[in-house]
Structure 1
Amino acid sequence: IIYLNKAFQISSFDETVIIVESVDERKAAEYFKHLLKEKFGVVIPIDSKLSGDKVKIVLKREEIKNAVNDQHYEIGYDEKENSIIAKSGSQIGLLFASVTLSELFEKINEQFFINLASVNDYPDFSIRIISANPNTENVFALLDYALKNKIETISVASRQYPWYEVSENYKNLFEKIKEWKDKYGGPSIMQMHNIYEEKDIEISNEADLKNLKEVIKTGIKNGADKLMILADDTPPFKFGEGYILTSENDKQKFKHMAEAHSFLMSDLKRWISENSFESELYYVPPFYTYEDMHYGDMELFKNTQWEKAAYEPLLRDLNYIGSNMPDDVFIIWTGPFVRSRKISEDDLNDWTKNLNGRIPFLWDNTIYSRNSFISSPMFSAWDNDFPNNFYSWTAGNGMFINGDECGEDSKASAVTVNDYMWNSKNYSPQNSLTAAMQRIYGEEN
């Protein structure tokens, strides 16, 4: 951001107008209006054409030359036309431009000033998923928090709703999400379903697949554009065999759980395409780290009589998944440990080898790993030792951040990790935490 040491001065917002043409531009304009109304208690009109001598705020969904990713946005001003122009090639990018634009407005002695700046901004990580456990009462506040802090995706936490039936609470929540997205457009929403929570799925059973798809369809039709299927922590396990199928029908159809899950994700991908739905796909395998739910730290099994019993199932399953899972499904890992505060290029290359050449997508559990005796972030900044330019190494140019952004103790920490993902080279944990606390709670607090 380069400030131009110039400003438009207006006595009221009647002297301004937001100019839009497309539906996506209008949604961004509605969010921009929402921000200014919250900040100043005033409303700017929206129009579809340039008008008179008013200061014009032009929002354009327009491709940016040499854009780094779809969230790249620019803000500039045209002195001759008395206008400020914000543009991005995507709707979410235009929303983020609107957030920055709102921060250029200030009020001094009953006069409003629109500070002029040249802005060329984009995130390092294009996929930035922050998990939360919202309800119908707080979901609007959550989505507002996400956009204000340029968080690309909010995930609705797994294990809160059944995968095998559309619960009333799930339906009501996603209807509220649709209401928000119909008005403003973003952020991206991920639905998450653990297929071994409460009831083990039988993948060969058409009724189970149909029930799962009904739940997924409810999410997609109400604003979810990402889908994560989880098989972590709770599937059946047997030492020496790893994670196992227990249904006789599944045993007859599949060699092992890895084959069953590859079939499931392929089936879901085909079903999504056949129904003209749109949803990015993610999969969490039972083996997602060397610090396993049942084995514990698998390093302890090396050079013992139990090494083969521990490692053979892990290597078999991951190799099969990497070889047979659809190419556009992101496969999750958490790093070498469940909470990996340090990840090296060797760690990433090692897990890529386990997946037969597939680069994994990182699920980061570390915002609640800093305190010795509690799992709460307690207003701590994300501060890990990752490779330089990690965003260019990890799958999907993204990360998933575990936590609950509806909780006050997680909000600031999540903003800091999003700051890292936006600008990793210049990230300062302490500066980011201070700025996050000020943005969320105000400088006076």
Structure 2
Amino acid sequence: MLHVGAPRTSPESGGRAASPAAHAALVDQRAAHNYAPLPVVAASGEGAWVTDVEGRRYLDCLAAYSAVNFGHANPTVLAAARAQLDRLTLVSRAFGHDQLGPFVAGLGDLVGKEMVLPMNTGAEAVESGVKVARKWGYEVKGVAPGRANIVVMAGNFHGRTTTIVGFSDDPEARGGYGPFTPGFRTVPYGDGAAVAAAVDEDTVAVLLEPVQGEAGVIVPPARFLPEVREICTREGVLMIADEVQSGLARTGRTLAVQHSGVVADVYLLGKALGGGVVPVSAVVADADVLGVLRPGQHGSTFGGNPLACAVGRAVVGMLAGGEWQERARRLGEHLDGRLRELVGAGVTAVRSLGLWAGVDVDPGLGTGREVCLALAERGILVKDTHGSTIRLAPPLVVEPAELDWAVDQLADVLARLAAHSGHRS
């Protein structure tokens, strides 16, 4: 197990950038400024830890937004990738390859669906899900051409394409990218009555995140997902669960909807499906939904490529036994208990499900960004969102003692901010 404690420095930098400052200057000059990253330049990773170009180690409590659920350099995933790299990596879908069939069969079995549409990124899975829902609406439900609508949630985050940001209510994600694709109706997240009121004879789907990650790990009321399921069944509407972040063991179940006893019609998967090695995503549904697609009507050069399928097969195999889900559940209970000790001591609220938590910092102490910067100085990587909220989603290989250390450091950061705030007043 990797040592838990203060970050340390190694003389070995592997011939990489001379310093984080030099690397940051190069990025600032040559890379588009669509991110404001923490001042950390990672060079390697193992398990729940990353090491920067100067040899300083950090506990990764973000896991690339759940894309690294199984840890950096997971040996099972890497072995599958290396073996496939020596054999075949890409043939497009113009003809078959020996990894595709086992991958789609395994993934379908894992989530209880008949068919899989393999894609690359989470946003591609969402876009594909929208296309499938509309086509299903016209061909199966009988919606008049050009009239299909999809009900979506306020506070949603489904990706960055122009269609997707068009139904976002985040001005930073949406501003400057119009005109937007019509056909979406936004209702408050967690409000079953609002969903019911928005559905009409032209509604083809309700699209939602079982847990809203970007919004700050917002867990809906217990009755919400069952209510949506009942509405969709009654009205002949597809329930589409975007499980790109919440799926594949992050919340302590294979799918987050399983906590509510709900079965969606369509699952959108990604991030962890690629094991932190390659982008792999998928739309998963039964044949009466995905069967509306016929040759030439949708595609992707890289979607379902041999390397992606080999890695995806490894991930599916790891999840099949349920050990990762159970580990996330147990670790999540531990993390939740420790974080709730901070409520009233610099924290105003904690929301969590499995090994995924949103922590609202008292805005009088500082912004989420300031807390993240202070934690990075101590060797802990977390990400802020929406003002004073920070998110924790460490790889599922993290150890309880490492979680304790991270929470202890957060407590100390908040105590120091409180003391400083009191001094200033």
- Whether TM-score is above 0.5 comes out as no
More strand by share: 1
Q: TM-score, normalised by structure 1?
A: 0.31
Higher relative contact order (CA 8 A, sep 6+): 2
